Amino acid sequence: MSRFRLVLDPTACDGHGVCAELLPEGIALDDWGFPIIAAGIADDHLPHARRAVSACPALALRMVRTDRHGGP
């Protein structure tokens, strides 16, 4: 059970795709260039996930603890 998960704000997301490049194990792009986020982040991927969150040009990604309610 991963300690963290990524939460995407789809209204802020503009489909830049930087996140998918930095965390391909956890973020894939759909047919329109928007991210599909896998559930949970493995612990060794956490630094990559943090970089993906920081690099998003639209600040659409957040990292949330899995025991806390982060999405809608």
Partner 1 sequence: MTRTAAVPTRPAARRRPTPTETARLLPASGGPTYREHLDRVGPLPAAGPGLIQEVLESGLRGRGGAGFPTGRKMVAVRGRRGPAVVVANGTEGEPLSAKDRVLLARNPHLVLDGLVAVGAALRGDRIIIAVERARQDTVAALRHALVERPDHGPVIELVQTPSRYIAGQETALVRWINGGEARPVFGNRIYERGVAGRPTLVDNVETLAHVGLIARFGAGWFRLIGPPAEPGSMLVTVTGGVDRPGVYEVPIGSSLTQLLGQVGARRVQALLVGGYFGTWVGGERIAAVPLSAEGLATVGSRPGCGVIVALPDDVCAWAEVATVAEFYSAHSAGQCGPCVFGLEDIARAVRGVLAGDPEAEAAARHWTAMVKGRGACHLPDGAAGFVESALDVFGGEIADHRLGRCQRPHHGYLPSPAPGDWR
Partner 2 sequence: MIAAAFTQSKELWYVMRASGLVSLILLTLTLVLGVVNVRRYATPRWPRAVTTLLHRNVAVLAVVFLGVHVGTAVIDTDVPVGWWAGLVPLASRWDRFWVGLGTLSVDIMIALVVTSLLRARMTHRTWRAVHWLAYASWPLAMAHGFGSGTDSSAWWARGVYVVCLLAVAGAVVWRLQRPIAPASLSGPVGSLDNRFAPRPATTGGSS
Among partner 2, partner 1, none, what binds residue 57 when CB lies within 5 to 8 Å by partner kind?
partner 2
C-alpha–C-alpha distance, residues 21 and 70, integer Å: 23
Nearest to 1 by CA among 67, 68, 72, 46: 67
State both tokens at 53: 């969150």
Site membership for partner 2, residue 28 (CB under 8 A): yes
9, 42, 46, 63: which one binds partner 1 (CB under 8 A): 9
SS3 category, 67: coil
- The site for partner 2 (CB under 8 A) is made up of 12, 15-18, 21-22, 24-29, 31-33, 36, 38, 47-48, 55, 57-59
